[in-house]
Structure 1
Amino acid sequence: MSDRPEGTGNAGAGAGEEGVAWSGPDGAQAFAAVDAATDWLLGYPFVFRALAGWIDSRHVLVDYGCGPGKVADHAARRLGARVLGVDTSPEMLALARGSGTAVAEYHLVEDGRTVCLADGSADAVMCNHVLASLPTEETVLSVFGEIRRILRPGAPFVLLATDPACSGTEYASLRIGDPGGEYGPGDEVTVRLRRTDGTWQSMPNHAWPVELFPTLLERAGFRDVVQHRPTVDEALALADPELAAGRTWAAERAKPPLVITTALAD
């Protein structure tokens, strides 16, 4: 569980590609080499914007599924909040702790629970691409339930996910599934991610149609669910100017693949 599409093995790897398991030291190092340009254009800046109206230096923000800490670090520096990163992978957390981020603490999620965090101890939670690692509705509800547990009542939860309905399109840094593919809840779907050296790696993920999230969140104890699909035109005012100007973003303009879902703890 981390800020990434997640999977194991080498299913779907093609010519010039390498399949990789995200678990273990090799997986953690492999994730550090992922480009994630599409996420940094249409995803993370909008997550930070959604959180900005709720938190400042007085508040605790939890990054649920923090991976090696890159997104948590940006959030800490941009928002000024006390950021805590949590993840199921000890190797990811070791990488995060050794990378000199601005994040205050990192905690391990064991058996679906972050035992170091008390009920209602967070003023906000963000969760980026974690659902892609979850195979069943039960596991999705379990994650939502744990996030609800650590949030104080009325606090915001911001969820970033890739829409499997955008399958087959090659974006700047990812492709979801195969051209013409249709994927139902929990179906296995191969995702390709571009590395910083320009090569690609593939792994199996699980598809979760974004239109299911409002109902699942309400079942887990959230209310006031709102969804937003960021566009390139919106991103030009939020994303890093060098990143935004460095590509044409043709696919991202034609069919934006990321959806931001926000909700409040009931």
Structure 2
Amino acid sequence: MSDRPEGPGQGGAEDGTAWPGRDGARAFAAVEAATDWLLGYPFVFRALAHRIGAGEVLVDYGCGPGKVADEAARRLGTRVLGVDTSREMLAAARGSTTAVAAYHLVEDGRVTALPDACADAVMCNHVLASLPTEAAVLAVFSEIRRLLRPGAPFVLLVTDPACGGTEYASLRIGDPGEVYAPGDELTVRLRRTDGSWQDVRNHAWPVGFLPPLLERAGFRDVVQHRPTVDEALTVADADFAAGRAWSAERASPPLVITTALAT
């Protein structure tokens, strides 16, 4: 599990770990993620800023090598705990980030080191696409609900499989003309920092499919938002947002932020 699902040109490990092993961790480090840093992560931070105070506990569920968790800690002033199914990702995170309080392993779907209702907020970025079944998605939502205190916010970032075939600045979701049902396999292309592309196998989870699952897992007040480039000009890093045309992102924004409150 990590900020981006599944390893280079292959599925995850048999235990469900995304970007498996050292090779997976190295491949993850080479992903550019420009579209995410325009239309995704800054909006996750904005949603959290309205709901969590300095010094409170934020869990990054599927933290990968910790870059987003580290940025959240710096921007929000929160005590961030990163959790992931990959020991290699956690090792990379411990060695490369400075602001995150601690990292914990997810084993058999549970963060055994963290007690019930320990978190004042949880974020989860690009994890669902590594999950092959509705039951697996529901299990992740249920574990996140266990970690949250009642009334605490959950912020979820996903790509929309309905935006298939469009080449964005740093990704392409699926193939042109294809329609994906929940759980269908699809190929996502991710741009590397050297300008090349790598293909990864993901699973399609239409954004409209998620609110009922969240409610089943114990969440309420589910709201979805699709950030636009015009919004990003005032939310993302100004120089970064102004540095490209973002033509495809303007025409069909591919990322969706879902927020919900634990019951």
TM-score, structure 2 length as denominator?
A: 0.96
Residue equivalent to 1:5: 5
Pick from 219, 224, 228 the counterpart of residue 221 of structure 2.
224
Q: Secondary structure at the match of 1:97?
A: helix
Residue equivalent to 2:83: 86
Runs of 4+ in 1 over 2 A off after TM superposition: 5-11
Deviation at 1:26, TM superposition (A): 1.1
Tell me the alpha carbon deviations over residues 210-250 of structure 1, each in whole angstroms, 9 at most, x when there is no partner: 00111000000000000000000000001112211111000
The answer to whether residue 160 in structure 2 is matched with residue 160 in structure 1 is no
Residue equivalent to 2:46: 49
| One-letter amino acid of the structure 2 residue matched with residue 221 of structure 1 | G
Residue equivalent to 1:248: 245
| One-letter amino acid of the structure 2 residue matched with residue 64 of structure 1 | Y
**Correspondence 1:129-208 to 2 at 5 A:** 129-208=126-205
Deviation at 1:32, TM superposition (A): 0.8
Note if contact 2:181-2:206 (Cα within 8 Å) is conserved in structure 1: yes
The answer to whether residue 254 in structure 2 is matched with residue 261 in structure 1 is no
Summarize the Cα distance change of 1:10–1:65 in structure 2 as closer, same or farther, 3 Å threshold: closer
Cα distance in structure 1, aligned partners of 2:8 and 2:193: 20
Q: Secondary structure at the match of 2:96?
A: coil
Q: Secondary structure at the match of 1:50?
A: helix
| One-letter amino acid of the structure 1 residue matched with residue 38 of structure 2 | L
Cα distance in structure 1, aligned partners of 2:133 and 2:64: 21
Q: Secondary structure at the match of 1:98?
A: helix
Note if contact 1:62-1:85 (Cα within 8 Å) is conserved in structure 2: yes
TM-score, structure 1 length as denominator?
A: 0.95
- Percent identity among equivalent residues? 79
Cα distance in structure 2, aligned partners of 1:10 and 1:164: 19
What is the aligned residue count? 257
Q: Secondary structure at the match of 1:182?
A: coil
| One-letter amino acid of the structure 1 residue matched with residue 6 of structure 2 | E
